[in-house]
Each structure stands twice: as structure tokens, then as C-alpha cells.
Amino acid sequence: MENILSAAQQLMSPAALAAIVLGTVYGTIVGALPGLGSVIAITIVLPFTYSMDAIPSIALVLAIYCSSVYGGSLSAILINTPGTPQSAATLLDGYPMTRKGRAAEAIGWATISSVIGGLFSVAVLIIAAPQLARVALRFGPIETFALICMALTCIAGVSRGSILKGLLAGILGLFLATVGADPMTGAIRFDFGVFNLSAGVSLIPVLVGLFALAEVFCRAAERAGTPIPKTESSGFVVPPFREWWLRKRTLIKSAAIGTFVGILPGTGASTASFIAYSEAKRSGRFRDKFGTGEPEGLIASETSNNAVTGGALVPTLALGIPGDPVTAVVMSTLIIQGIQPGVRLFADNADLMNAAFLALILCNLMLLVVAAAGSRLLTRVLSMPEPVLFTMVVVLSLVGSYGVNGNMFDVLVTFIAGIAGVAFRYIGVPVAPIVIGLVLGPIFEESLRQSLILTDGSFGAFFTLSHPIALGLFALAALLMAFAIATEIRGMQRKPAPDAPEI
Amino acid sequence: MKTATRDTIFGLVMLGASGLLWLETTRPQYDGIPALNYGFPPDFYPKILLGIWAFVSVLIIVRSRMIAQAEAEGLHPGKLVVSMAVVGLYCWLVGVIGFLLATIPFTGLFMAVLGYRRPVVMLAVTALFPVGVWWLMSGPLQIFLPESPWFNSF
């Protein structure tokens, strides 16, 4: 209790509160703008966090994370274009409501569903993350190695497109992490005589390039063919309680689906929202009206995609294993602040974690305030000209990359990663496994080499009953891989081109 | 370009890259110091990754020969190259003439490259946005962006 009070006190500082309010407004706007999304929203503000204290900077990033997922629903409802992929299912019932002149009501359904989904997942996070961290304290290097194997397999396996390309992307990320000093001997690897490479490849420049710059380049190349529809401005109406009560089962089920999917590495909010939408369409009370502007469809999509936020933070905070690029950026923010996510996080930084949990609760509640007070204004931002927006994104992204270490080499890395990002999209290689591979690479190598030292160089000893957790995780990884391969083979038999360019 | 051809080229490029990186690991610096590496020299782990990398690349080539041909999604190469060239030039100029002097022309130019044609808005954004970012970074946030060689403050 004392810890919680102390955390609340720290969170009530003007800087932390301002971070939550501004982060929520900014995240909602960026989330609503088609083509940007949570990763770009957070990377743009990273430089601002460098000079901030730990709690305000964490509150800022968490506020942007939650609100950007919600923000995507505004454009999905108003202009039939999801601001983020997470809101793709929202437009199925959101836009028909707008066409019927019920846009304000649709925003009300989406906002309250998002808040409930977010709060539900925060409750799960508060309960599950410390427990998981406590269990993971017993993990040795073999278990850690097995866990990362399982996470990477999952991320590569569920990436849209080809499993082989997903796998290769993961390997690329792991390989990029080997650039620089060898963790055991200090020998410099793959620097090719370039001094800056001897320090390794930083995550942020790679991430900014793969996501922000690649998005700008792709949109520049597509501009003639993809005009943004005219924006409608809309207010916010709270639907009556009786209407909610009729749809309570979908609300609860979607929150549970979103949180569970969020915990699984590599899946993410878009998967969760489509699963929840399909489930509501199968079992919902108003399933016959789905697709015609039925609020139950909105509830399913928006509750689940916001419930992913808390779920995805469970493995990120408790195990130090981010499940997607967004949580990888969140994790980077913690690392920049000198906080290492992982099994020791809750033991060593209890105050900070309590503050983060409270910040998450406040961020979710703030969504309600921001939507109620400013949805008419926020939705006007959707009419901002894309060229102006993308020019600002390029400048702010490059400033963010430069700010990590204060050197121009990172700007060069960002540019190269941007070009690579465009090539990967064109070829259909998912970039999320590259980012996760880069984040997990050092700990993956360390755990592998430590494990081999413990077992006198025997890989066989990893798969014995003396390491039951590791054995279970390896088995799960093998199952996931077999499932992904079977799905791909079935896909190859069904259609001519099983992969499509995507992020 | 057809998707199968595209995948074959990608597989071959990645296979070649893994071969070149493998060659890099044969240099003496990767032998390490036996007393420190416990039998697992610095090239041990990268070689495992490169082995899997090469194997997956071969599988991608094999798979590309098995899938039916379909047209890959096209991009406008002209616009793509121009936008990349402008951003590339900007990245270089930031290091040479400083953030502010490089960002002002870039802001106007890039909006034009992206097809924006409203001079008043362009002028306002070009004048205010770079100065605003520079002030915010070097003022309240204390992140010092690259400076020009001719002026002391920016």
C-alpha cells in the first residue's frame, strides 16, 4: 500500500500529468492519421523523453501507446480508412453508422469500449506480470534460450505472408544484433572497418527507418493512386447503459480475447480485433445486423484492440521479451531511462512499476476525457494535407534517430533502413521479426553460449527432462513452426501468390 | 515483375550475402582468445545464424520455383527514387551545413516532391516548422542538433 501511495504521489507531479494529457491527445491524433500508427507516434516523441525524468517519460510513452490504438478508430469510423491496422475491423460497422448519420454515437461506442478493454487488460497486467516475473526468476540460460526460440518462432510464424520470409527476417534481426563487440571476448565483429559499427547497431534508427521512413517512401510512390477520402467532423455521444447491458457478453469476451492475444508474441491488436469480431459475429446477440452499423461489432473490435495494450506489456515487462515493434519501442524507452525490463524489474523498481500501472489506468481514463472534450477538434486534424504531415514525420524521425547517441551515423543507418524497409515491403518480408530479433539478439546469444558452457557444448542436454520448462517451450516452438509450415503449404496449394507486400 | 521471379532474386541475393558474411568470419579477429571464450569463439554464434540464413534462402528459392507466377504489386519507381534522393541529400546536408540550414529548404522541397502545391501553406510550414523543432530541441529539451560551420548558435 505504501508503494502504491508513493507511486501515486510521483504520478501526480505536473510533469507526469502533463505527459499523460499531451500524450493522449497527440497519440489519438497520430493514431487517427492513416499510415502513421503507434510505432511512428512513439518514435517521433523519443527525443523528448531523453531529457525527462523516468516517470513522466514512461507515462508519455504509455499514453501514446494506448491512445494511438484508439485513435485509429476515429478515421475508420469517419472516413472508412483505419488510421492503424488495429482498427481495420472497426470500419466494418463504424463507417455504416456514420453513413446513417450516427457518427457521434459510433465514436461514443468505440471510446467507451476502448477504455473498458484497456482497463481490463491493465488489471490483468497488474496481476499477471509480477507473478510471471516471479516464475521467470527461476529461469536459467537454457530456459531463457528456449523462451526466446519460442517467441521468435511465434513472431515469424504468425507474420502475414511467407513463414520462410518471416523466419529469414528474424534471423536478419538476430544477425544485426551481433554487429559490434562480442559479449564474451570483446572482439569486434562485422564492423568492416567502420568505427561507428564497432558500437553495434542501435534499435531506434533501424526501427525509425523500417517503419517511419519506409512508410513515407511507399506513400510517396503510391500517392497518385490513393487519395484520402474527405473528412467528416464529429462529436461524441455516450450510448445509454441499457444498450451496453444488452451487449455485455461481447464486451467481456472481447476484452479477454484482446488481453490473451496481446500476451502472445507476434500477434498484435489487428489479429485480436479480427478474432473478437469474428467471435461476436458468430455468437453475438445482434449478429444478424453485423456489417450494417451494429454497435456490437464496434464493441468487439475496439474492446479487443485496446485490451492488447496491457496484455502485450506482460511479457515485455516481466520477461523483457517484447511481442511486437510497439512494445519494443516502449522497452527501448525504459532502457534509455536506465531501467532494464525483465525478471528483476518488479523486484528492483517496484515504485516505478506501480507508477507505470497507475499511469496506464489514468491514460485509459484520459481517452474518455479527450474524446468527450475534443473529438470534434481531433477529427478535424484528419484533413491535414498528407505531404505536410509526411515532411514533418521525416524531420522528426531523423531528429529522434540522431538524438539517441547524438551522432550522424545513426541518421545514415535510419536512411539505409528506410530503403531496406521499402524493399522488404515490396518483396513481402515482414519487418516486425527484424525488430524483435534485434532487441532479443544479445540476450539470445548470451543465453545460448552460457547454456553450452553449462552443458559442455552439448545441444542435446537442452532437450532433457532435467529442464522441463525448456523442454515444454521447445515443444511449443516446434508445434508453432509445424502449424505455420502446414498453413503455408495449404496456402500454396490454394492460391498462386501466398504472400503480399506488407509491413 | 512476377512474384516468383522476385522471390528467386531475393533468395539468391540473401544466399550471396550469407556467403560473403561467412567469408568475413574467416578473418583472424574472429578466432578470439581461447582462455576467454570457453571453446565458443566470437564467430560461433554468427556462423550458426549464417548457416540457417543460407538454408532458409535456399528454401525461398525452391519455394519460388514451386508457386505459380502472379504479378507483384508495383510502385512508381520515379517518385520513389526522387523521394529517397531528396531524403538522402537532406541526411547528408544536416551533417555538412547543420540541422536548421538543411531543414528549411528540405521542408519546402519535400512537400513539393510529394505533390503539394499551396504556396502560402508551404511557405508558412517551411518558415515555422524547422525553427520550431530546432528551438524545442536546443532550448527546453537540451538536445543539440548539428550546427552549421558558419554560425555559432545554429
Q: Which of A152, A168, A188 to mutate to test the interface with B (most CBs of B within 10 A)?
A: A168
Rounded-to-10 torsion of CA B121, A32, A329, A274: -150
Q: Which residues of B touch A213 (CB under 8 A)?
A: 87
Q: How is residue A249 written as a grid cell?
A: 457478453
CB atoms under 10 Å from CB of B35, counted, come to 7
Q: Which residue of chain A has the CA closest to B6?
A: A427
Q: Does A237 touch chain B (CB under 8 A)?
A: no
Q: What is the pLDDT of residue A270?
A: 78
CA of B1 to nearest chain A CA: how many angstroms apart? 11
How far apart are alpha carbons A205 and A49 in whole angstroms?
A: 16
For residue A183, the SS3 value is coil
Q: Which residues of A touch B128 (CB under 8 A)?
A: none
CB atoms under 10 Å from CB of A491, counted, come to 16
Contact (CB<8Å) A427/B7: yes
* A residues 408..447 contacting B (CB < 8 A): 408, 411-412, 414-415, 418-419, 422, 426-429, 445
Higher pLDDT, residue A280 or B34: A280
Do A431 and A208 contact (CB within 8 A), yes or no? no
- Tens digit of pLDDT for each residue in B83-132? 999 999 999 999 999 999 999 999 999 999 998 889 999 999 999 999 99
Q: Does A134 touch chain B (CB under 8 A)?
A: no
Q: Tell me the one-letter amino acid at A34.
A: P
Q: Which residues of A touch B83 (CB under 8 A)?
A: 216-217, 220-221
Q: What is the pLDDT of residue A495?
A: 54
Q: Which residues of B touch A427 (CB under 8 A)?
A: 6-7, 10
Question: What one-character-per-residue DSSP string does A98-124 give?
Answer: HHTT-HHHHHHHHHHHHHHHHHHHHHH
Q: How is residue A241 written as a grid cell?
A: 447503459
Q: Which residues contact A284 (CB under 8 A, 6 or more apart)?
A: A247, A249, A250, A290, A296, A297, A300
Domain ranges of chain B: 3-66, 77-138
Residues in chain A predicted with pLDDT less than 70, given as ranges, are: 1, 158-161, 223-234, 266-267, 492-503
Q: Which residues of A touch B70 (CB under 8 A)?
A: 496-497
A400: left (phi over 0), alpha (psi -120 to 50) or beta: alpha
Q: Which residues of A touch B45 (CB under 8 A)?
A: 178, 445, 448-449
Size of interface A-B (CB pairs under 8 A): 203
Q: What is the pLDDT of residue A234?
A: 67
Contact (CB<8Å) A218/B40: no
The CA-based angle A346-A436-A450, given to 5 degrees, is 70
Q: Which residues of A touch B14 (CB under 8 A)?
A: 168
Q: Which of B21, B63, B76 sits opposite A224 (nearest CB)?
A: B76
Q: Which residue of chain B has the CA closest to A385?
A: B116
Domain ranges of chain A: 2-494
Q: Where are the alpha helices (DSSP H) in A198-324?
A: 203-208, 214-222, 241-246, 248-263, 269-283, 295-319
How far apart are alpha carbons A450 and A140 in whole angstroms?
A: 9
Q: Does A215 touch chain B (CB under 8 A)?
A: no
| Largest Cα span, chain B | 68
Q: Which residue of chain A has the CA closest to B124?
A: A388
Q: Which residues of A touch B6 (CB under 8 A)?
A: 426-427
* B3 closest CA partner among B74, B54, B80, B75: B74
CA of B102 to nearest chain A CA: how many angstroms apart? 10
Complex ipTM above 0.90? Answer: yes
Q: Does A193 touch chain B (CB under 8 A)?
A: no
